[in-house]
Amino acid sequence: MVEWHSTILIVRSARQYSIISQRTVALQCGSMAKYGVLTLLITGALIGLVDARYSHVACQVVENKWCTVQRLRISARTDVRSLVFPDDRYERIRIGQYYDFVNTDSTIVIFSGELFYRMRRVRYLQMNGVRMVGLDMPDTVIELDVADNWLSRVYIDPDRSYSLRKLIMRNNHLTSISSFKYLNMLEELDLSDNLLHAVNFDVFSFMPYIRVLNLARNRIFSATAGNGVISLGYLEEANLAENQLSKLDVGVWLFPSLRMLNLTGNPIKRLNLSSQQSFPRLKMVLL
């Protein structure tokens, strides 16, 4: 007599499924004629149970090597445990609504390290307007665009080495960027339209390759330089427009590559940029 109840189990892991499959195969070999059809039915049901445990994330649209994934709903860190990204061919992934002809609107409240682990091949990542409030900074991404979210918490591990060259965090809720000093490969940084009040330019001295810096439309009333001279040899553009700066101590700035400085919309009354040593290539100052 065959005890079928030994094979009817709730499948909680791939290992359990493997064990169950082995039992099914043994049973099939011993009773092929009598139980073959029933065995196939049970095996199919078990596969269905395993597949139901995972949520496969696929590309909804592929354009110019960008994969825009189907709709995602992640409201907590634990929501990613069942996600599988089978399309590991793509280095460029978009998550969010980017097209009028298809609904790919997504919600990722927390972008965790565990979620990024499931897409480790990605080097260019865009997640615009996905209602994100928290982000674990991915370490192998080269360009990251998380504009138009609700980001107020960004975790950057001081013990990791980050490959990030371009970071766009425009239109979020950031109030502090002190931990950004660990992103020392950055070349472009856009933090416009956030909630920054005070900025210590010391943080940018840890980014020796920074070329473009955008801090426009925050609430910055203080831009200090720490205890010494801030030297940024590659900085070409600095945008601090539409803030609340009444003074700016540029005497401690050493920006030999700076070409454009935008300070429009600030209540600055006097600014001394006459130093040829500090700003030898400065061509445009907007006040």
Question: Which candidate, 205, 212, 252, 195, places its Cα nearest to that of 232?
Answer: 205
Looking at residue 27, what is its pLDDT?
38
Choose among 179, 138, 144: nearest CA to 162.
Answer: 138
Domains and CATH numbers, the chain: 4-53 (no CATH), 55-286 (3.80.10.10)
Distance between CA 171 and CA 247 in Å, rounded? 25
Question: Do residues 254 and 278 lie in contact, with contact meaning Cβ atoms separated by under 8 Å?
Answer: yes
User: How far, rounded to the nearest angstrom, does the alpha carbon of residue 269 sit from its chain's CA centroid?
Assistant: 39
Backbone angles phi, psi at 202, to 5 degrees: -55, -35
Provide the whole-model pTM: 0.80
The residue assigned the tokens 């030994």 is: 6
Lookup result for tokens 């700035």: 253
What pLDDT score does 86 carry?
61
In eight-state DSSP terms, residue 4 is: G
Ranges of the chain whose pLDDT falls below 70: 1-54, 86-87, 274-276
pLDDT of residue 151: 98
Helix, strand or coil, per DSSP, at residue 162: coil
**Of 204, 203, 190, 199, which Cα lies nearest the Cα of 220?**
199
Whether 118 contacts 144, CB under 8 Å: no
Tokens of 219: 């609430």
Task: Assign 240 to helix, strand or coil.
Answer: coil
